[in-house]
Amino acid sequence: MMTQADISQAPRQLAHHTQWLDKLWQCLFDGDAGGLMSPGQIRREHRDREHVRQIEMAAILQAEQELNGIHTGKKRLDDNGNLVDTPSVDLVATHKIIENSAIEQGLDIGLDSPAAMIRSVVKELSVRDLERSLNLRKIAILCESEILLSEPQPVSHQPVNAEWMTRWRESAENVFNPELQVLWARALILEVAQPGSFNLGVMAALLQLSVDDLEVVKIASKYAFPDFIFCGPGAYLSTDFHQGMFEIMEDLGLLSSAATTVSLASHSNEQFRLLLPCQNKALQIEHSLANKSLSLSVTKLTRIGKQMMKLCHSNADLAYLFDLGRTIKAQGYSVAIGDWRLEGSKHQFEVRLAL
């Protein structure tokens, strides 16, 4: 149920989402609706967005089924580029080659092959282009949904780098797994909002992700602080399972290859005060001495790893946070655990439990 505060915030949130969606559509389709009704047109005509997208998605799925008919032999592209039914075998006239003695010597082979092969390649490329274009439109609808589910954030007027956008398009339109498509969609909408958020390397990392790898990355994101994952001796992440997770993350270039000790300084000059956010939770660490330094054994996230974690919307592992909290408390600090959430353009921390 919406509160009065939620209602009062709704127009402002809608304005942020509107700007975000319009910029997204411009980046994807350069002013053309791309066969989809643009967010702007939906607003102007007071359409039901969900109903519009349901109809469009049904049309995309139907078109994909039609194209799949080519692969199964039930459909074909005629010389005019139209998708038509393949005639039944019993309706196909017997080719003269069947009764031609030239078949024995193979004299007929290759007579018309250059032109025939070119036509075949053109049709094959046309089918692939259609499949990729349809897939891109599915991801566009997914991007829209991700924006509407996200907390509003400032949208820069700076355009997305043309090379970045081209690389994203060429890569994303060949990703057909729905789970992987979510990460590509999130990367795009965050880059649209703030160009420069993701470098080209993160796309290379996304391209090498298998579905199994994705599951490992999602699990790892439950333990990821902004720069590292805590992995002290005898800590929560010391099992064979977690060791395998670390190895896969290293292979993917998301984690450094060895554990190290980091010293974390206070965010305040008056006393030691530090917030360590991990997904939807955070640890608040305090001490009366401002110049005190907190030492932790960690495995550092690489630059690509930090960017990848932004794409994984997971809930922090509470047992892991409690384990780290006890480790920090043993060094003489007071520790509290709480909620970490985005409100507008800023994160807010709310204490839930003192350890």
User: Please, which contacts does 176-179 make with residues 24 or more away whose CB atoms are closer than 8 Å?
Assistant: 176/135, 177/211, 179/211, 179/214
- Residue type at position 333: Y
Place of tokens 């790898």: 213
- List C-alpha distances in Å: 33 to 29, 40, 115, 149, 171: 6, 10, 36, 22, 21
Q: Quick one: pLDDT at residue 248?
A: 92
Token couple for 292: 């005190």
**Measured distance CA(190)–CA(188) in Å, rounded:** 5
Say how far apart CA 257 and CA 249 lie, in whole Å: 9
Q: Residue 93: how many CB atoms within 10 A of its CB? A: 6
pLDDT given for residue 304 in this prediction? 95
N- to C-terminal Cα separation, the chain: 32
Those residues whose C-beta lies under 8 Å from the C-beta of residue 47, and which sit 6 or more positions away, are 37, 41
Q: Would you state the pLDDT for residue 98?
A: 44
- Within a 10 A sphere around the Cβ of 228, how many other Cβ atoms? 23
Identify the segments of the chain with pLDDT beneath 50. 1-12, 89, 92-100, 102-103, 107-108, 117-118
The DSSP code sequence of 259-315 is -EEEEEPPS-SSSEEEEEEETTEEEEEEES-TT--EEEEEEEB-HHHHHHHTT----
Number of C-beta neighbours around residue 334 at 10 A: 14
Token output for 193: 């909002």
pTM here is 0.80
Longest Cα separation, the chain: 99
